[in-house]
Amino acid sequence: MTARLHAETGLDEAVLHELVQAFYAKVRSDAQLGPIFESRIVDWEPHLDRMTAFWSSVALMTGRYHGAPVPKHIGLPVRWSHFERWLSLFRETAVEVCPPAGAAHVIERAERIARSLNMAIQDADRDGVPSLSRADNG
Ligand code: HEM
């Protein structure tokens, strides 16, 4: 599966490493997003390693990431406009760093995950409790 995804997208660990490094460099110097990240992440190196493992799992299905992103985002002071900014920096970086098919591949996945994180955050804001899966709620 990983070999097939690599062949189809041109993505590999080196490209994903570069994507994560370049993307978070932009995020950290962004006026809207930078302060939100800087106030929560003290040690960037483990965060960037975790994010490379995450993208390896998402884009190449390597299973390298073992974590739960949703609870880490619940309670962050963000609305959809923050995710739009996040996605705009991500799209820009993906096009700069990845081969075209690889950029399309990671952008599509980032858009889908951003929507679901945003929904989880809004849901938790409404209820006061994290709501991870609400099958009864459509
Ligand atoms: C406005 C948008 C976003 C903000 C402000 C944000 C902020 C953060 C922060 C502060 C952390 C560190 C949390 C901690 O260690 O306590 C984090 C972790 C993480 N974020 Fe985001 N994030 C955003 C969007 C996204 C999106 C769109 C994705 C996926 C496509 C994503 C994936 C992750 C992952 C995988 C982690 C690591 C979770 C773990 O510790 O395993 N984030 N984010």
* Per-residue pLDDT tens digits for 25-78: 999 999 999 999 999 999 999 999 999 999 999 999 999 999 999 999 999 999
Q: Cβ(61) to ligand 1 under 6 A?
A: no
Structural domain contains residue 132: no
Closest ligand 1 atom to residue 69 Cα is 38
Q: Does residue 17 belong to any structural domain of this protein?
A: yes
The mean of the pLDDT values for the chain is 94
23 lies in which domain range? 1-127
Which segment of 9-18, 85-94, 121-130 scores lowest on mean pLDDT? 121-130
Q: Is 134 part of any domain?
A: no
With 0-12 / 13-18 / 19 or more C-beta atoms within 10 angstroms meaning exposed / middle / buried, residue 104 is middle
Residue 138 placed within a domain = no
In a domain, 117, yes or no: yes
- On whether the pTM is more than 0.95, the answer is no
Specify if 46 maps to a domain. yes
Domain with 94 in it: what CATH number? 1.10.490.10
75 in a structural domain: yes
Distances (CA, A) of 30 to 5, 23, 45, 84, 98: 32, 11, 19, 13, 21
DSSP class of residue 120 equals: H
Residue 76 CB less than 6 A away from ligand 1: yes
36 lines ligand 1 (CB under 6 A): yes
Count CB neighbours of 78 within 10 A: 18
Locate tokens 């995710």: which residue? Answer: 83
- Number of structural domains in the chain: 1
Asked whether residue 133 is domain-assigned, the answer is no
